[in-house]
Amino acid sequence: MDIYLAPDVPVTGTLIWYLHVCPREVWFMSRGITPYAYHRRLEYGRAVHQRHSDTVPLSLEGIKIDKFDRESNVVIEIKSMSRHLESARAQLSYYLFRLSELGLKAKGQVWVPDESLTEEIDNFNEDEVRNDVEKVKEIVSMETPPQRKWIKFCKKCAYRGLCWGDER
Ligand code: SF4
């Protein structure tokens, strides 16, 4: 699968994650417009990752795996809350596909430690992963961000001020 946005810029798992939250965020991230660094939720997410992730994460181009169980070949994606489970599944599917291309047949697990929630992901849909990668490429190639649209995630989004100012 061709994962390159530019010769040395791959589609990342984070972009796949954002694609399933809000496509506009993909565009912002691709332009280096990062969310407000001290946003409370982002800080909380970073703390959860620091507490539970591997000290030396397994990584390859576009991928940084939070935790990897080498004995059972399980890729664990840590999330601070279960709010974006669908995005987490898509991100993990991307990882599993990329690893399968390297000959590593792994399983996945979304783990939300603070909610004692785990969800196993044994398979991924190759067409859906390819489709996600193409969608990311399409959004990144746009000259302006996708139109803003008020969705259920806007209220607590770190980009809310940028998208909506004082309107909402
Ligand atoms: S505030 Fe809403 S429209 Fe803007 S990036 Fe966040 S989720 Fe998307």
Q: Report the 3 state secondary structure along 28-63.
A: HHHCCCCCCCCCHHHHHHHHHHHHHCCCCCEEECCE
The residue to mutate among 15, 25, 144, 152, having the most atoms of ligand 1 within 8 angstroms of its beta carbon, is: 25
Distance 101 CA to ligand 1 centre (A): 33
Spatial CB neighbours of 107, under 8 Å, sequence gap ≥ 6: 72, 73, 74, 75, 96, 120, 121, 122
Task: Report the chain (168 residues): mean pLDDT per 10 consecutive residues.
Answer: 86 95 95 77 81 82 92 93 93 96 94 94 94 97 96 92 87
Task: Verify whether ligand 1 is closer than 6 Å to residue 129 (CB atom).
Answer: no
pLDDT at 122: 87
Let me know: does 103 contact 73? Beta carbons within 8 Å: no
Ranges of each domain in the chain: 4-164
CA 164 to ligand 1: nearest atom:
1
Distance 68 CA to ligand 1 centre (A): 31
Residue the block writes with tokens 């139109």: 147
Task: Verify whether ligand 1 is closer than 6 Å to residue 41 (CB atom).
Answer: no
pLDDT at 38: 64
Distance 147 CA to ligand 1 centre (A): 10
CATH of the domain spanning 4-164, picked from 3.40.50.2000, 3.90.320.10, 3.40.720.10, 3.40.50.300: 3.90.320.10
pLDDT at 37: 62
Handedness of CA 36, 86, 99, 113 (dihedral sign): positive
Identify the residue whose C-alpha is closest to ligand 1 atom 2. 154
Tokens of 57: 């994460």
Instruction: Name the phi and psi angles at 9, rounded to 5.
Output: -120, 105
Spatial CB neighbours of 140, under 8 Å, sequence gap ≥ 6: 5, 15, 26, 27, 30
Let me know: does 94 contact 20? Beta carbons within 8 Å: no
